[in-house]
A and B are shown apart, each in its own frame.
Chain A
Amino acid sequence: MVDVQAPGRGLGGRLSVAAAARYAAPIGLVVVFLAFFIATPNFLTLGNISDLLVSAAILLVLAMGQQLVVTVAGIDLSVGSNLPWSAAVLGFAYTQGWGLAVSVLLALLAGLLVGVVNGLLVARLNMTDFIVTLGSLSVVSGITLLLTQGNTVAVNSAFLRGLALNGIGPVRWFWVVAFVVAALVGFLLFRTRTGTYLLSTGGNIDAAREAGINVSRIRLIAYASSGLACGVASVLLVARTGGADPSLQTDLLLSSIAAVVLGGSSLFGGKASVFGSVAGAVLLQSLINGFTLLGISQYYQPIAVGAVVLGAAFISRFQK
């Protein structure tokens, strides 16, 4: 930071700081890996990293949905209840004996439905994204409690358990799901016309509208995708926790936003980094994992996570 002010080196310093800002999450990830590696021999082992990436998968999928919404300068707070809602639909269908395939399909549709409703309210009725998704966070949570009567629905499926525990050789199924979702989002954003529209809608909605982009359709797509991501994540959630718990998942909601911000995307829209968000999600999970291994008190963990997010926000000041 001092370099920025140093005479003669000012330009070079600013360059590297701006560049560092772009790669805050990956650099942070390397630093955190290094720190934990030095601190404990148990961190950088095949088994632990394998587990860390599995643990990060749910958050990663949610962050990918959040990424699309943030790209169009929105925010999706309904993730916290859409996730348990989709999981509850899966659990409900499964206990009705409709079979796993149907149940999973219904879970995906349930997630998508919430996303579409959010999208319609935000894009078509021009309601404020923050308020719309805050409202649906609450409404969907209530519907979930009604559907489950407040109880955890056990989903006892050997297939889902296998999904959570097994894989192809060392490659775990959870990674595969997370990777496919990330790849799809990356493809959508940077290789398709829709992606270009998403970025331009987020960058300057008026300009995008004048350029003939159907901005309300584009925003609808973003929210619907985030809903669908919740559906996908809910399948992973049920696989990992063996059932559908109707409780709000606020931790995952906040982490999904933090992961996207860490990744270098702007909350003001128009700028997206799938790679950054992936690194952000893995970074957040690595902190928890490393602290668990080190046995550092629970009370310090939120401070560390918050400090990392604040650090990323600070670095992003230097981003052009």
Chain B
Amino acid sequence: MLTITRGRPRTVVLVIAAAALLVGVAACGRGEPAAGGSNDVKIAIVTRDFTNPYWAALRDGAVAEGKKQGVTVDVQAGDSETDSTGENAKISTLAGQNYSCFGVVPVNATNVITPLVPVAQKKIPILNLDTQIDPAASAQAGVSYASFIGSDNLSAGQQAATALLTRMGGHGDVAILQGIAGEQNGINRQQGFSQTVAGKLNIVAAQPADYDQAKAQTVTDALLRAHPSITGIFAANDTMGLGAAQSVRNAGLTGKVTIISVDGITAALQAVKAGTLSGTISQYPYAEGELAVQACLNLVHSQTVPERIVAPIQLIDSSNVDKAIASFPQPFTPFANPLPPVAGK
């Protein structure tokens, strides 16, 4: 007991001393604005996480475009694909800083709306990136988006379906690996796929593998055992496509089971080159990041931007994978950028 009673005051003194130091330094007048004049454009981009190479590519594109245009671009993210509160906290932290434009990829349809309310109230332009934010709930909260920039995931699913149909000869049993339950992009991809193959391919199973490579491998192991007739697999993203490819390879079925996934991450391009993955519908998150920064600059300079900017997508298979790898992370065919060139720079 003696030790504790004698110890306590010392610690209290220590804490008070530290606090006093803190206040002392505070009094010495920090809080000057960050270096640079008031004309400095600062762009904040917030996405789900950086463990998914897709979002990492979006970040890299945004940062590279920021360097090119000579503006500050800060990209932040939560901890995982489902970290709705973590992403939320990042946005509200950034909302208190002097950013001139926000670009946000939500975790779900609503999680970013509340922290964006103060941003909207300050009349700072907001871009909705990649995944649609609930328009009705946003309107009620008084938040509006200058533009939606993203890939057409319905079309990605349709292109994947067409690719599978061609390779499977227009008939056969196919399985679908779904993303996280309720995630909108995954739902759209599956919808596009299912519509296109309806009446031609027989969908024998649709199982969630949560955009997770290991889980996709386990699920595919089970699917191949339960449905040995499967000759095609559609994975709603590349990480699951890679898991499925591993499983198919372990079962000695490479070449017999066609696998098409969506996203076009580096590992998937390598797998296409190696022949374990049949193809990927490449989206261009890097281009999406660039477009976001360009759109922000247009908005900051009071130019209008289209309400909806569709980022390019393309099927990568063995015929064009070398070109795709060579030009990665840029698309290897030019696409029509709907944004006017950035003024004032």
- Is A15 among interface residues, defined by CB-CB distance under 8 A? yes
Give residues of chain B (190-238) contacting chain A, Cβ–Cβ below 8 Å.
Answer: 208
What are the residues of chain A within 8 A of B113 when measuring CB–CB?
242
B18 and A299 within 8 A (CB): no
Complex partner residue of B140 from A51, A158, A250, A320, CB under 8 angstroms: A158
- Given that A23-B11, A299-B50 are known contacts, is A240 also in contact with B114, CB under 8 Å in the complex? yes
Known A154-B110, A248-B82, A292-B76; judge A30-B34 contact (CB<8 A). Answer: no
Question: Does B22 reach chain A (CB closer than 8 Å)?
Answer: yes
Give the CA-CA distance A41 to B25 in the complex, in Å.
Answer: 12
Q: How far apart are B218's CB and chain A's nearest CB, in angstroms? A: 16
Of B14, B30, B114, which contacts A41 at CB under 8 A? B30
A280 contacts chain B at the CB level, 8 A cutoff: no
Closest CB in chain A relative to B104 CB, distance in Å: 13
Within 8 Å CB of A149, what residues of B?
181-182
Contact with B along A261-296 (1 / 0, CB 8 A): 000000000000000000000000100110011010
Contact residues, A120-167 vs B (CB, 8 A): 145, 148-152, 154-156, 158, 161, 164-165
Q: How far is the CB of B77 from chain A (nearest CB, A)?
A: 5
The answer to whether A152 and B182 have CB atoms under 8 Å apart is: yes
- Which residues 34-61 of B sit at the A interface, judged by CB distance below 8 A? 34, 49-50
Q: Does A251 contact B (CB under 8 A)?
A: yes
* A58 CB within 8 Å of chain B: yes
Inter-subunit contact A292/B114 (CB<8 Å): no
Return A121 CB to nearest CB of chain B, in Å: 27
Over the window 21-47 of chain A, the binary record of Cβ atoms lying under 8 Å from chain B Cβ atoms (1 yes, 0 no) is 011001100110110011001101101
Question: Which residues from A are CB-within-8-Å of B140?
Answer: 156, 158
A148 to B109, CA, bound (A): 14
B92 touches A55 (CB 8 A): yes
User: B339 in the interface, Cβ–Cβ < 8 Å?
Assistant: no
* Alpha-carbon gap, A243 to B270, bound state (A): 39
In the complex formed, the residue of B with least CB distance to A31 is B18
Among B6, B77, B79, B89: residue with most chain A CB under 10 A: B89
B80: Cβ under 8 A from any A Cβ: yes
Q: Is A105 an interface residue (CB 8 A)?
A: no
| Residue in chain A with minimal CB distance to B56 | A298
Is A189 among interface residues, defined by CB-CB distance under 8 A?
Answer: no
Whether the pair B22, A289 counts as a contact (CB closer than 8 A) is: no
Shortest CB-to-CB span from A34 to chain B, Å, is 5
Q: Name the interface residues of B100-149: CB closer than 8 Å to any CB of A.
A: 107-111, 113-115, 117-118, 134, 136-137, 140-141
Once A16-B10, A22-B11, A295-B74 are accepted as A-B contacts, the answer to whether A165 and B118 lie under 8 Å apart by CB is yes
The verdict on B4 contacting chain A, using a C-beta distance below 8 Å, is yes
Partner of A34, one of B14, B21, B80: B21
| CB–CB A145/B97 < 8 A | no
* CB-based contact A33/B114 at 8 Å: no
A150 nearest CB across to chain B (Å):
3
The 0/1 profile, CB within 8 Å of A marked 1, for residues 73-87 of chain B is 010110110111110
A245 touching B30 in the complex, CB below 8 Å, given contacts A37-B25, A156-B137: no
Q: Which residues of B contact A74 (CB under 8 A)?
A: none
Any A CB within 8 A of the CB of B249: no
Residue numbers in B under 8 Å from A14 (CB-CB): 3
Q: How far is the CA of A3 from the CA of B183 in the complex (A)?
A: 56
A229 at the interface (CB under 8 A from B): no
B133: nearest residue on chain A (CB-CB)? A242
Given A44-B30, A245-B111 in contact, is the A30-B10 Cβ separation under 8 Å?
no
A30 to B113, CA, bound (A): 32
A194 sits at the interface (CB 8 A): no
CB neighbours (8 Å) of B141 from chain A are: 156, 161, 242
A155-208 contacts to B (CB < 8 Å): 155-156, 158, 161, 164-165
Q: List 23 A-B contacts (CB under 8 A).
A: A15-B6, A16-B10, A18-B4, A19-B4, A19-B7, A27-B11, A30-B18, A30-B22, A34-B22, A37-B25, A47-B96, A51-B93, A55-B92, A152-B111, A161-B141, A165-B117, A240-B85, A241-B84, A242-B111, A245-B108, A288-B86, A292-B89, A298-B76
The 5 closest A-B pairs by CB, nearest first: A150-B181, A19-B7, A247-B82, A242-B110, A243-B110
Given contact pairs A250-B80, A295-B76, a sample of 16 additional A-B residue pairs in the complex whose CB atoms are under 8 Å apart: A37-B22, A37-B25, A55-B92, A55-B93, A150-B180, A156-B136, A156-B141, A165-B114, A241-B110, A242-B114, A243-B108, A243-B111, A249-B85, A293-B93, A320-B3, A320-B4
Show the binding face of A for B, using Cβ within 8 Å.
14-16, 18-20, 22-23, 26-27, 30-31, 33-34, 37-38, 41-42, 44-45, 47-48, 51-52, 54-55, 58, 145, 148-152, 154-156, 158, 161, 164-165, 237, 239-243, 245-252, 285, 288-289, 292-293, 295, 297-299, 301-302, 320
